[in-house]
A and B are shown apart, each in its own frame.
Chain A
Amino acid sequence: MNISNQEYSELAKRISPPSAMYKTIPMAFVIGGGICVIGEALMNLYQYMGVGIDQAGMWTSMTLIFLSALLTGLKLYDRIAQHAGAGTLVPITGFANSVVSPALDFKSEGFVLGLGAKMFVIAGPVIVYGISASIIYGIIYYISTLF
């Protein structure tokens, strides 16, 4: 080959089309914002029904996760995500989709080693690093309370 890998990767970079950000970002904004508005409405609904604010938050999460699981099962969530990008990824519904979709998909390899074992194949790191970060914060916070 008469081209160095360096030159080649510059050529690849030049030719590869960038994402259509004029389209992807507004879509992510509108759909992601829309999901948050639904969350806000659920929050108000549960509080109106007389649930305390902390519990209303939990009910809201649970409802959104349920809806996401349902839409994932109906094969609609990934179809919306094709247009929404990060708009369906960043909300809690995206987390639920990342748990439900491998569960559905790996059912063919059995209920234990397939569905059960592979459920957190995408969401696993979220829990590992989220919980670990919170523990580190907790230790720092504890030390700070000593003084």
Chain B
Amino acid sequence: MLMEYVWAFLIGGLLCAIGQVMIDLTRLTPARILTSYVVAGVILGGLGWYQPIVDLAGGGATVPLTGFGNLLAKGVREAVDQNGILGAFMGGFTNAAVGLAAAVFFGLLAALIFKSGSKINET
């Protein structure tokens, strides 16, 4: 039980630290980091290399965006098994549906309720 949290922390932290190294050394913009993480997740998931990490680290592997990519790959694989080639075009959005819909809807709600604010500069 405890070890599962330790692994989640270590693997999740490691994935974020890799992102930070990429930012610090290459000056990649955030949007590029996000995009490369998702695409990397699709590739690793497709190769079947990501699932072992998920089995080990749980949230440590599913919460970072590579996990989102893995989810897309998994959805496509299942959909292709059921529907053939058409599944390649179905599975991604099927598995991403909750995440995307939640982001859109909560984004809209937040925008309706809150005002954009200045970063008041504090330490």
Interface residues of A (CB under 8 A from B): 18-19, 21, 24-43, 57-58, 60-62, 64-66, 69-70, 72-75, 78-79, 82, 85-87, 89-96, 98-101, 103-105, 107-108, 115, 119, 122-123, 125-127, 129-131, 133-135, 137-142, 145
On whether A40 and B60 interact (CB within 8 A), knowing A73-B110, A115-B108, A126-B35, the answer reads: yes
Count of A-B contacts judged by CB separation below 8 Å: 290
CA of A79 to CA of B84, assembled, Å: 46
Number of interface residues of B (CB under 8 A): 80
Question: Are B119 and A32 within 8 A (Cβ)?
Answer: no
Instruction: Indicate if B5 sits at the interface (CB-CB under 8 A).
Output: yes
- Which chain B residues in 23-44 approach chain A with CB under 8 Å? 23-24, 30-35, 37-39, 41-43
Q: Closest approach, in angstroms, between the C-beta of B4 and any C-beta of chain A?
A: 7
CA distance A97 to B115 in the complex (A): 15
